[in-house]
Structure 1
Amino acid sequence: MNAMTHYMELLATNQPWQLLIFMAVPVICAETLAITEMIILFTRNMTGAAKKVSKATGIFAGIYFLGIFIYLFINAVIPLTTSGGWRGPADVIAVGFYLSGVIPFMGMFLLETGLIGKKRDETGKLKLHAVFVGIFLVVAHIAMIFGMLNPDLLIMKM
């Protein structure tokens, strides 16, 4: 019987460093983005401090999480897949959804650096940015939920 998914094992190993690197920094970025997003939506101030913090956080989070994605893909996903080391569906779902966080974070990075959304007005960019924040929050929470499961719960017993 496996006690935990690789997701939880990653966060529990080498305390507190891996918890900080793989959970705290991305979640703090997401929460900062969500809060600044609300401030911008309520005030419609597209040049204030909240917008500057949001832009800097979006750029940082995109680069940071791309690094996490590359590191974990090379050092966890490929070895687990080639060795058959996955601990069942919950394990794959947790890690897969966690790593899929690279998509919205990179979307924010590309938006903030002007590589996408060039033809959108400020409101259109704000809407797209809010969508990216929402997507990250959803995939991160799915990863957390499945990551906290005992991976044996979703294994079909014959």
Structure 2
Amino acid sequence: MIMTHYMELLAMNQPWNLILFMVIPVGMAEALVATEFFTLYWGESKNKYWRLWNKYIGMILGVYFLIVFLYLARIVVPSLTWRGWIDQVAVYAYMLGVVPLFSITLMEWGLLGSGRSEHKRLKIHAVLLIAFLVVSHIAMIFGMVNPTLGGWQEPLPAGYRQMDHSQMNHDRNRP
């Protein structure tokens, strides 16, 4: 089966790559979404506990994904032979997730948006989280698509050559 490098990365070294590149970051992002909802829902009375969890998850997730991004950018991506534009969309959309996630970390460290009201910071935080969910889902969707649907053709094995059938007369076998 022909697959994108995104899916190949998740399928290799089972189950570790799946855990490191999908389960941990997506699971933490889901936890971040949950704490974000509870922070908004409970208001000021119980907000501090959910906000504390939200803060720590945001800091850990951003640093974790930055490490994943650096690993992919320095080790994996330079060695790839692209399987067309679908393959590139899947890989780069996944890697683009570092922008919103690390921005959330910078917000939690007080290095981004520190001069804004708590309400405004919460809004930015939610928008960044939504941005991550969008790019990660784009990566997942394109990652599951067969790259040949985008026009890419699998190279022939060494020693094989493509036959030219354009000169063949296919009409002579018809009645």
Q: TM-score, normalised by structure 2?
A: 0.83
Count of aligned pairs? 152
Instruction: Write the letter of the residue equivalent to 1:87.
Output: R
Runs of 5+ consecutive residues of structure 2 not aligned to the other structure:
154-175
Runs of 5+ consecutive residues of structure 1 not aligned to the other structure:
none
Partner of 1:119: 115
CA distance in 1, matches of 2:29, 2:3: 25
Instruction: Write the letter of the residue equivalent to 2:142.
Output: F
Is 1:107 aligned with 2:106?
no
Question: What's the CA shift for 1:79?
Answer: 2.0
Is 1:142 aligned with 2:138?
yes
What do the CA deviations read for 1:42-87 (whole angstroms, capped 9, x no partner)? 122385221111100100011000000000011121222xxxx100
Question: What's the CA shift for 1:100?
Answer: 0.2
Query: Residues 90 and 133 from structure 1, CA distance in 2 versus in 1: closer, same or farther, beyond 3 angstroms?
Result: same
Matches of residues 1-158 of structure 1 in structure 2 within 5 Å?
A: 3-45=2-44, 47-80=47-80, 85-155=81-151
Which of the pair is proportionally richer in helix?
1
Identity rate, percent: 47
The 8 Å contact of residues 94 and 136 in structure 2, kept in 1 or not, is answered as yes
CA distance in 2, matches of 1:24, 1:44: 30
CA distance in 2, matches of 1:18, 1:35: 25
What do the CA deviations read for 1:85-136 (whole angstroms, capped 9, x no partner)? 1001110000000000000001100000000111111111100100111000
Query: Residues 39 and 142 from structure 1, CA distance in 2 versus in 1: closer, same or farther, beyond 3 angstroms?
Result: same
Partner of 2:161: none
CA distance in 2, matches of 1:153, 1:139: 21
CA distance in 2, matches of 1:48, 1:117: 19
Alignment partner of 1:3: what SS?
coil
Alignment partner of 1:48: what SS?
helix
Moved over 3 A (4+): none
CA distance in 2, matches of 1:122, 1:134: 18
The 8 Å contact of residues 38 and 47 in structure 2, kept in 1 or not, is answered as no
CA distance in 2, matches of 1:120, 1:41: 17
